[in-house]
Structure 1
Amino acid sequence: MKRYVICGISNRAMTMFIKPMLQQFHKESTIVGLLDNDPLRFQICKDAYKELQHVPVFLADQFEKMIEETKPDYVIVASRDDTHVDYILAALKENIHVITEKPMVTNARDANKVLEAESKSTGKVIVTFNYRYNPFHRKIKEMILEGKLGRITSIDLNWYMDTYHGSSYFRRWNRKRDLSGGLSVHKSTHHFDLVNWWLDQKPEEVFAFGGLHYYGPEGELNPKKEDGRYCSTCDVKDSCHYFVRWNARSGAIQVKDDHLLSGVFQNDPPYTDYRPDACIFDSEIDIEDTYVATVKYDRGTILSYSINFSAPYEGYRLSINGTKGRLETTEYHEPSRIPFEYPEQTIDFFPLFGSKETIQLVKSSGGHGGGDPILLEDIFLGPDPLRDYDIQAGAEAGAYSIAVGEGVWRSVLEKRSIPIKELI
């Protein structure tokens, strides 16, 4: 049985790791330590999972003490993005394996530190890129490996975050680049890793445009230019289109996503010194909400990528062009928030010479399109022996996804193309 400690008792840690470890994987794993900078999180976690009542807890500056006392085989990192690097490096120094939430770290400088530390350690890093495990994404990988598309020449990937989910990043710590790396790192590394993995190529150069168009003090729908507001106590919230779209004027504020406890609002804070309802029009926001980017790969493929964090619906459109044909697929996320009829996702393949083929797949239950449960099986049970290709992401994959993400925002700020070799 493997021994695990968890750094960062976030809602993500509780739902993605702790709950499955206590239920599906209790024969293979045991939790021997919890670490966080907020004691209230220990209480919330232990109230939710009575099996952890006697598990020792440690504050953020007690990592070495935790390792010495608990002697874990693995460190799971699910804390705020900017803290990942400290726990990863400390674990590798002790030759302990690491399982970390994406992004692995928030910048290329720290990614290089992780790569160097791993090269000197017997510990290895796993990055939980769960989108790889989505059944449609696995099928696309298999089609590329089979040579169905031929040599891949270009990819178009357009991602849309709706006004509910997209705005949530601007209510919390994600809105500060020094804490999250910006959304081209915090969010888009999901997407860049997918493309890197599909292609099995290394990114070489990035060029991008971007800006802050919807949020921040200059947002066109800002009802009042005033810093320091919170949705719970705001005197102009009934004039805020983002607020009234998702909240009844007389009801409690609900800020829900997979990183927060359900029903979090100001007069019942779940954590110490943590507010998930900061104003999306505050001037401290220093990240972008819109990107268009081009990425060149080392074997010639070109990626055209865009993401918008204030769209009418959530999902993505993907097309992959190859020397033997073209693949297209569209996914709509969060159906309860889509105010129109939409088709079920399929994969359409158009051979260069021939008839269109439509591929339908069995849907999987679980988060991220059914990717989370399969990812967890690979982590706690080992890779699926029936799968004949690599899917689990390591430190190098984490580093290259971050390099592309940082290359995107640097290109926007510096108005030049960014060679990946400057970063990794």
Structure 2
Amino acid sequence: MKKRYAICGVSGRGLGMFAKPILTTFSASSELVGLLDRDPARFELFRTRYPEQAGIGTYSENEFDRMVDETRPDVIIVAGRDDTHARYIMAALRRDLDVITEKPMVTTGEDARRVLEAEKNSKGKVTVTFNYRYAPIHTKIKEMVLEGRLGRITSVDLNWYLDTYHGSSYFKRWNRVRELSGGLSIHKCTHHFDLVNWWIGQKPVEVFAYGALNYYGAEGEANPRKVDGRHCSTCEDTEACSYYSRWNTRSHTMRVQDDHLGSLSEGKSRFPYSDYRPDQCIFDSQIDIEDTYAATVRYNEGALLSYSVNFSLPYEGYRLAINGTKGRLETLEYHMPSRTPFPTPVQTIDYFPLFGSKETIHVVHREGGHGGGDPLLLEDLFMGEDARRPYRLLSGAVDGAYSVSTGEAVWRSVKEHRAITIDEVLGGNRPAPALSISGEGGQGR
């Protein structure tokens, strides 16, 4: 019998990451039975792409219960704007349904706690799609830690870089409003915090951070003119805008930047949704989030994370070092070589035993999005987890909660100029859930 899925949030990710594989690769065992969204134009986009599926039921944002009653899904996929996640996760758990949700699971520590409590009282469970875990280079790092090659983990250095193409895209979209996204320390950095939590198998306890809005917003140094309400596709200041002119020529139609829409519109309307523009000006005064962070995170077993992220750099990638009582590993990755203005090497892992010779490890790379991780994640979601692995890769509600609470602690520390504990973020000074992180010794949900 096919497993039945309904999607809440007909976003680019909802269509490309979930609807498409359900209707194609995994159609023998999966069935899409319902779509829910606040914008009817999104249903039209779905029907344009999949005309043979025009009969699938569509529902407005307030018709969740009706959708469940009429379509009888087994699993709810939550893929809409970040601030909608908690609403539909909670609604699904109340109906004892399993949930697959895009990251971040929710946008606040308070909502994370609510989800954890709801899951305890439900027959359903929550899966968070942290696809970075699935990249072969990242699973190799996990294996090296589990094998004990580093010993007890003492510290981690992680510096993440987003280039002016990708980094600026968040400031063109709804992500730039903290109320909708939680800020980039939640929307984006939860990916990074989850990776570290999973790699080292420890839980974050306390965070201290600094942050700033250095590049974007009305005071951005590259702002050609202080005025609100501009859009890249109609702006009179594009030739004076370094961010626009870096990725566009005067005669070339504007490239829709990393908005998960460009590949979907296929010559129809540039912006096929009713009330969504991915080309808002990156220098608007509406922007109320940061674009630069430096943070220190303390973990329950003594490890310390030194983390930084910058959303406006000449190239994209990250530098990682993990230190332990038996050795150290280092790796450097350049994302998107086609956007990098210099030759980039193939990523390797350098391993330095505390007493011994350096070893360079070449990892087999895979095709597919997010470093080859997306296809493997989809197999686990729609075919069941690969039982041959000695550790878990799929993330659960606890993983989602710890990554979100770390991100909230970062921006609260920036705002309040003090260290923020995970307990106060997750539970208003109540102890954080005494649960294990997925993949810790192969255990956890």
Structure 1 length normalisation: TM-score? 0.98
Cα distance in 1 between the residues matched to 2:112 and 2:35: 25
Q: 292, 307, 310: which one pairs with 2:309?
A: 307
1:171 aligns with 2:167: no
- Is the 8 Å Cα contact of residues 79 and 101 (structure 2) preserved in structure 1? yes
SS in 2 for 1:75: strand
> 2 CA distance for matches of 1:107 and 1:261?
30
Deviations 1:362-415 (A, max 9, x none): 111111001111011111111101111111100010000000000000000000
Matches within 5 A, 1:300-379: 300-379=302-381
Residue 208 (structure 1) aligns with? 209
Q: Are positions 1:153 and 2:151 aligned together?
A: no
Corresponding position: 1:18 with 2:19: yes
- The yes-or-no answer on 1:53 pairing with 2:54 is yes
**Partner residue of 2:290?**
288
Q: Could you say which residue in structure 2 is the equivalent of 1:249?
A: 250
**Unmatched segments (≥5 aa) in structure 2:** 427-445
Supply the distance in 2 between the matched residues of 1:256 and 1:23 (Cα, whole angstroms): 27
Instruction: Measure the CA separation in 2 of the matches of 1:237 and 1:263.
Output: 25
User: Sequence identity, in percent?
Assistant: 64
Distance 1:266 1:219, change over 3 A: farther
Is the partner of 2:63 in helix, strand or coil?
helix
Aligned residue for 2:145, secondary structure, equals helix
Q: Which amino acid aligns with 2:215?
A: Y
Call closer, same or farther: CA 1:223–1:165 in 2, change over 3 Å: same
Between the aligned partners of 2:4 and 2:326, the Cα distance in structure 1 is 48
How many Å separate the matches in 2 of 1:263 and 1:423?
38
Counting only pairs closer than 5 Å after superposition, residues 256-295 of structure 1 correspond to structure 2 as 256-257=257-258, 259-262=260-263, 268-295=270-297
SS at 2:161 equivalent: strand
Question: Amino acid of the residue matched to residue 93 of structure 2?
Answer: L
1:232, distance to aligned residue in structure 2 (A): 1.4
- Superposed displacement of residue 266, structure 1: 12
- How many Å apart are 1:295 and its aligned residue? 0.1
Matched position secondary structure for 2:262? coil
Residue identity matched to 1:169: Y
Shift of 1:113: 0.8
Partner of 2:42: 41
CA RMSD in angstroms comes to: 1.3
1:27 maps to which residue? 28
Which residue of the partner structure matches residue 297 of structure 1? 299
4+ runs deviating over 4 angstroms: 263-267
> Structure 2: how far apart are the matches of 1:239 and 1:304?
37
Q: CA deviation at 1:234?
A: 1.2
Give 3-state SS (helix, strand or coil) of 1:271's partner.
Answer: coil
Unaligned runs of 5+ in 1: none
Does the CA-based 8 Å contact 1:162-1:313 persist in structure 2?
A: yes
State the Cα distance separating 1:263 from its structure 2 match.
8.2
Asked whether the equivalents of residues 256 and 262 of structure 1 are also in contact (C-alpha less than 8 Å), the reply is no
3-state SS in 2 of match to 1:318: strand
Instruction: Tell me, in whole angstroms, the C-alpha distance in 1 between the residues paired with 2:107 and 2:260.
Output: 17
Per the alignment, in what secondary structure is the counterpart of residue 186 of structure 2? helix
**Cα separation, 1, equivalents of 2:87 and 2:372:** 31
Contact kept, 8 Å, 2:261 with 2:271, in 1: the verdict is no
CA distance in 2, matches of 1:341, 1:142: 29
Asked if 2 retains the 8 angstrom alpha-carbon contact of 1:254 and 1:262, the reply is no
Residue of structure 2 in register with 1:83 after alignment: 84
